[in-house]
Structure 1
Amino acid sequence: MLTAHYFTPTADIRRLTEIAEIKAAFDSGQGLLWVDISEITPADSTLLQEQFHFHHLAVEDCVSKKTHTAKIDDFEKYLFIIVNGIAMTQDEDVFEPEQLALFLGQNFVVSAHHPPFHCIDYVNSMVQRDGRPMKRGSDYLAHAIFDTLTDDILPVIDVLDKKAGDLEEHTISIAPVPTALQDILQLKHSSGQLHRTLIPQREVLNRLSRGEFSLISKDIRIFFRDIYDHVVQIEDLNLTLRDNFDNALSLYMSAVANRQNETMRVLSIVATIFMPLTLIAGIYGMNFENMPELKWRWGYFGVLALMMICVIIVLLWYRSQGWITWGKKKKIITPNSQHTQSERAKSR
């Protein structure tokens, strides 16, 4: 779908619907033309190449459904810029980059993308309301699009931060949630995807802000620098989240290992208790004719009593070593309870 707005030399905003009108505004070299192509198709490449005379390699990058790394190419009369937004999939733990391509000239901006972008819709609404983003030139219009695109990444950071808090609760629980490991690995992947998206994008914004291109006026460079600073801040937050996910993974593995150790400890205690019982049963299970205890009237009950005594001795020894405990639990005194007890002592 093609949408075109034209800021005329007389400071009027017109919406163009005919290709001939768009071509005339593009060739006039006056005013500012913004053409947005949503859900771009190979058929749109004809318009970009034959009507706007853009380089065929840049047009191929626009039409391709493959997401390219953020970059900027200087074609003298215009800049070709690719930036990436972050789209949330049906699975809230998975984020995928979405490509936005931009041709930036002295009197035109042509944006092309496959999925709809909130930043395009937002700037479009501003243009229709008062035309403000287009009144300061093509470079400021590009800034408005990139600025909104960057702000739209912040909700992704918020989602990752909330997930990190939930994972911390799951990993430090007595019984780790079975799906926690999969969640941690998925969030680490999403955080890594965000990192790989932001790093080249940060370099693109840095180049736009340092006066490398004549199409970016001196007054507008500071705005691109502001976006660059925002991207750096987002990347710092993302790195902190990546550390949190690494810590959550370590905590989860430690919790699983501790639980396995506890299970092995219980099994070892049970096996050790039955060792003397097995020995006694084995001795009296031997088929010897001369075993006086077998003819004793109370022999059966005596062997059971001996087994019980062995169990009690083993349990008492375990308790003396601190391997098992029983009885009343020690009362845990919290700061509030200490405060209450001190007040009671003073009242006495």
Structure 2
Amino acid sequence: MSVVAAFLYHEGKRLRPVTLIDPACEHIAKDDFVWIGLSQPSESELADIAGNYGLHRLAVEDAGNGHQISKLDVYGDQLFIVARTAHLEGDHIAYGSTAIFLGKNFIITVRQGSARSHSELRAHLEITPELLREGPDYVLHAILDFIVDGYFPIVEAIEEDVLKMEQRMLAAFLTREEVTRIFTLRRELVRFQRVLGPMLEVGRKLVNLQLPRLDEASKPYFRDLLDHMLRVESAITGIRDILISVFEASHLLEQQRQGAITRQLAAWAAILAVPTAIAGIYGMNFENMPELKTQWGYFVILGVIAAVCIGLYIRFKRSHWL
């Protein structure tokens, strides 16, 4: 059974459990509301709850699809929201979605994929009935805030990884595996931004538009929610800039290292060219060559070779080629 929790609340306190086709839900008192949580429900379960609460067919279809982007739609006097979820599972990001139906005296959530359970959130709200007394629109804010709060550990983990890589780059050259990790992190950031972008649009609509089932008293909560989203966006932008800087700096340092190696090789090649050239000339088998019969010619040639090589070495050393 995919029904995780389904209860009727009266003045912020749990009154009794309800079913998907509970006929009493058609006559809920003004100060009461129903909160139903579903996880990967079947088509028949969605059909039952749609019939009992008058949910729009298109919204129900979207709720059953776990690959929808975040969005906000209005169907008559009901509000339908899809919120993409993301949280860390080990060293990778797990994505899911939560569809939310907000209507007269009810809120229904449908979780798909790796979306986290709302059990802890529900328990927290139930021990603070003054919050639940605010009604379904406050529960909507609490659920969305719960989803957005799941983004922060992802940002912190990626930021920590990137900063460690930046320090590693300043201390030594990045390995091939570390460069590959840079591209992996960049790809994860791009995917995460694609999740966050539509969520920001949902947050702006909740703050700026006049929507059914949301009164002005709930606006401050949604402004706070939007502020959290903007903080996540700002952090992602900063991390992306650092990541680009790390890659570019690593590439520049690698070019400098290769240039230094090339200069060293060229300097040693020039130094070795002197004895090679002199030895090659005097190694030719000719009878009439200058200095061949000189008593001190051998030592003179060695001295010339040593002097030229030492002179070149000093010159290259001063030029920072060696």
TM-score of the pair, normalised by structure 1: 0.81
User: d(CA) in 1 for partners of 2:144 and 2:312?
Assistant: 72
User: d(CA) in 2 for partners of 1:62 and 1:164?
Assistant: 36
Q: Give the match for residue 60 of structure 2.
A: 59
Q: Which amino acid aligns with 1:70?
A: S
Cα offset, 1:43, TM superposition? 4.9
User: d(CA) in 1 for partners of 2:19 and 2:103?
Assistant: 21
Cα offset, 1:102, TM superposition? 0.6
Structure 2 unaligned residues grouped into runs of 5+: none
On the 8 A contact 2:88/2:153 being kept in 1, the answer is no
Q: Residue 86 of structure 1 aligns to a residue in which SS?
A: strand
Q: Which amino acid aligns with 1:252?
A: S
Q: Give the match for residue 331 of structure 1.
A: none
Q: Give the match for residue 180 of structure 2.
A: 182
Q: Give the match for residue 162 of structure 2.
A: 164
Structure 1 unaligned residues grouped into runs of 5+: 325-348
Cα offset, 1:64, TM superposition? 2.2
Q: Residue 214 of structure 1 aligns to a residue in which SS?
A: coil
Cα offset, 1:140, TM superposition? 0.9
Q: Give the match for residue 88 of structure 2.
A: 88
On the 8 A contact 1:32/1:137 being kept in 2, the answer is yes
CA 1:15 to 1:271, structure 2 compared with 1: closer, same or farther past 3 Å?
A: farther
Return 162-171 or 23-32, whichever deviates more. Answer: 23-32
Work out the percentage of aligned pairs sharing the same amino acid.
24
User: d(CA) in 1 for partners of 2:218 and 2:245?
Assistant: 41
Q: Give the match for residue 28 of structure 1.
A: 27
Q: Which amino acid aligns with 1:28?
A: H
**What count of residue pairs does the alignment treat as equivalent?**
319
Q: Does 1:37 align with 2:38?
A: yes
User: d(CA) in 2 for partners of 1:40 and 1:231?
Assistant: 29
Cα offset, 1:168, TM superposition? 1.4
Cα offset, 1:242, TM superposition? 1.6
Return 52-61 or 240-249, whichever deviates more. Answer: 52-61
Q: Deviations over 1:303-348 (max 9, x none)?
A: 4443323211211222344544xxxxxxxxxxxxxxxxxxxxxxxx
User: d(CA) in 1 for partners of 2:219 and 2:271?
Assistant: 78
Cα offset, 1:17, TM superposition? 6.1
On the 8 A contact 2:78/2:212 being kept in 1, the answer is no
Cα offset, 1:74, TM superposition? 0.6
On the 8 A contact 1:72/1:80 being kept in 2, the answer is yes
Q: Give the match for residue 173 of structure 1.
A: 171
On the 8 A contact 1:69/1:197 being kept in 2, the answer is yes
CA 1:245 to 1:12, structure 2 compared with 1: closer, same or farther past 3 Å?
A: closer
Q: Give the match for residue 207 of structure 1.
A: 205
Cα offset, 1:87, TM superposition? 2.1
Given candidates 309, 312, 315, the residue that maps to 2:313 is 315
CA 1:95 to 1:12, structure 2 compared with 1: closer, same or farther past 3 Å?
A: closer
Cα offset, 1:109, TM superposition? 0.9
On the 8 A contact 1:3/1:16 being kept in 2, the answer is no
Q: Which amino acid aligns with 2:36?
A: V
Q: Does 1:237 align with 2:238?
A: no
Cα offset, 1:95, TM superposition? 3.0
CA 1:48 to 1:296, structure 2 compared with 1: closer, same or farther past 3 Å?
A: farther
TM-score of the pair, normalised by structure 2: 0.87
CA RMSD, Structure 1 to Structure 2 (Å): 2.7
What pairs up with 1:1-348 in 2 under 5 angstroms? 1-9=2-10, 12-16=13-17, 18-20=19-21, 23-30=22-29, 31-66=32-67, 68-90=68-90, 92=91, 94-115=92-113, 117-118=115-116, 120-291=118-289, 303-324=301-322
